[in-house]
Structure 1
């Protein structure tokens, strides 16, 4: 991320994406899961949709984190039209992981800053599922000011469940990436949607807590590395 940081450099590799896809296809590479996060342009959205079509199988899982904004605001490089394009990416996903800001953008609705009601969250989850994905995990959910967590929805069972933890003061970059990655780890290791969301909430919250207590520069992300031992125990990998 580049939040709070200036003078950075970057290299746009969009033109390399299709040749890489074709090379992987020529090698008959298969993926257990496909996970997308930040996309920087309409062209990247189109390429990612092509990637889904090229590498989707009956056995793999496509997870889309529709990274576009937070705290009620679009990231400055994006427009409302970009949100409409991201909606078409989400249509091809098995599971999407938006925050409340991104949910409002995907649904083209005004942002609600919370605290939320169960009716609002459950209505939002069902409308997001109507875009196409079978399952939705909505982050940034809270009914009380001292809590924060996620809501899960499985369209096939129509089941909605919640996972919460104690809210830690401050704003931390990269927590959405940490959460979605941990969520996918749970799903790929045989845990249910809600169990995986609980693993992700715990891992993300513990990473934030370490960062808050260490009082390190928030611009450099959260300390997820030292949370790996507990994370691996939850995944029953150690």
Structure 2
């Protein structure tokens, strides 16, 4: 009988995110980027959409219903397991709770399974449509099990119950990262962090870990909104950490790629609002991780 038995772990990762029928976002980005990074990626859909959630018109939203939990159960039934999990957009709090239950069961089989969280739920101080404080609470309950949490500043504030503002100083961002670490995760990367110590127009990533590693890596800021950037960032950082890179090296790699990817995407879009064009950079990503794999990650 055919079996998906995976007793020997080999860089497998479960992506928990929505799938758009059209558009470069969410699972449509995670899967090709992680594959380029030499990882075997599996998708657990949280929601199926006709396009990305911010698209105009009569957006089609197809709920996974019981299929979400049934897929998790089936993988355990046939002894199919993963080295890591990357979470993104959850459709509801029950999905978060189900994943937590699944993760705890998987840890009994593989104590080293690593959870990477992109706690997608808001930006610019506000929840995205359909999200509320209950979602923030459930994501907070998942954080103690995470190897790495990658919120933007809005999401970090929503999780912690902090007031949001557009002009956080670097020392305040450091305090936010430290508070997230007290929830029990091993590492934190806050995206969209600015360096108020200089006047240059740059932003990037503030990172901190339980081991004391901390710092800021910035890249050039570009005027425009490129959707799918967060999914790309989360995928590259996660792959880099799995490959053994330090937090600093992970965000440096990501910043270097994003600094080229965003202006290229702006040049390809009809306005400064549009999708990220990651495809021309797949070869660069693949080359980097192929070399890492040859060195034994």
Asked whether the two chains share a fold, i.e. TM above 0.5, the reply is: yes
Partner of residue 66, structure 1: 119
Partner of residue 152, structure 1: 207
Match of 1:99 among 128, 146, 152: 152
More strand by proportion, 1 or 2?
Answer: 2
4+ long deviations beyond 6 Å: none
Equivalent position SS for 1:172 = strand
Partner of residue 188, structure 2: 136
1:66, 1:90 within 8 Å by CA — same for their partners in 2?
A: no
1:136, 1:154 within 8 Å by CA — same for their partners in 2?
A: yes
Inter-partner Cα distance in structure 1 for 2:192 and 2:240: 19
Equivalent position SS for 1:208 = helix
1:73-108: CA deviation from partner (whole Å, max 9, x where unpaired): 110211122211221122321210000000000110
Inter-partner Cα distance in structure 2 for 1:80 and 1:60: 28
1:218 shift after superposition: 6.1
Inter-partner Cα distance in structure 1 for 2:57 and 2:162: 32
Deviating more after overlay: 214-223 vs 83-92? 214-223
1:225 shift after superposition: 0.9
Inter-partner Cα distance in structure 1 for 2:60 and 2:189: 33
Is residue 284 of structure 2 the alignment partner of residue 230 of structure 1?
A: yes
Match of 2:237 among 183, 192, 197: 183
Is residue 90 of structure 2 the alignment partner of residue 39 of structure 1?
A: yes
Partner of residue 260, structure 2: 206
Partner of residue 6, structure 2: none
Equivalent position SS for 1:2 = coil
Structure with higher RCO (Cα < 8 A, 6+ apart): 2
Match of 1:192 among 237, 246, 249: 246
Deviating more after overlay: 33-42 vs 137-146? 137-146
Inter-partner Cα distance in structure 1 for 2:244 and 2:147: 16
User: Structure 2 length normalisation: TM-score?
Assistant: 0.74
Change beyond 3 A, Cα 1:90–1:217: farther
User: Structure 1 length normalisation: TM-score?
Assistant: 0.92
In structure 2, runs of 5+ residues without a counterpart are: 1-51, 293-297
